[in-house]
Structure formats: structure tokens, C-alpha cells
Amino acid sequence: MASSNNAAAGGAGAVYGLGLFGAVVWNWQQAETFWGYPWGVIESFFWPGFLVFELFKGMAGITGG
């Protein structure tokens, strides 16, 4: 019998995979040069890190830190 934690981890992986696919599609459409395409694919793998960084940077600005 599987625990609920394993099921939640599987669901999170699926959501991350869909987000990754969507990011690749978005960045591919935004590319204007040849090197924009490979850079868009690379950037798609790191978009969650950029998102969290900007979130923390914004929170630091709100708190005055």
C-alpha cells in the first residue's frame, strides 16, 4: 500500500513536467535569433530558480531588508 507522501510527490513531478514543457514552448516562441532557441531551452530548466529568487528579492524589498 502506497503512502500519501509518495502519491503527492508523483503529482508534483507531473506538475513540474508540465511547467517545464510550457516554459520550453514559451521560450521557443520568444526566440528571435538562432542562439535564442538553445538559450530558451536551457533557461526553461532554471525558471523555477529565477522565480523563487525574484520572489525572495521582492519580499526583502517589502520588509526593508
Q: What is the pLDDT of residues 20-51, one digit of tens each?
A: 899 999 999 999 999 999 999 999 988 888 88
pLDDT > 70: what percent of the chain? 80
pLDDT, mean of residues 1-10: 60
- The greatest distance separating any two alpha carbons of the chain, rounded to the nearest whole angstrom, comes to 51
Q: For residues 8 and 20, give the distance between their C-alpha atoms in angstroms, rounded to a whole number.
A: 18
Q: Per residue, what are the HEC states of the chain?
A: CCCHHHHHHHHHHHHHHHHHHHHHHHHHHHCCCCCHHHHHHHHHHHHHHHHHHHHHHHHHHHHCC
What angle do the packed helices 4-30 and 36-63 form, to 10 degrees?
120
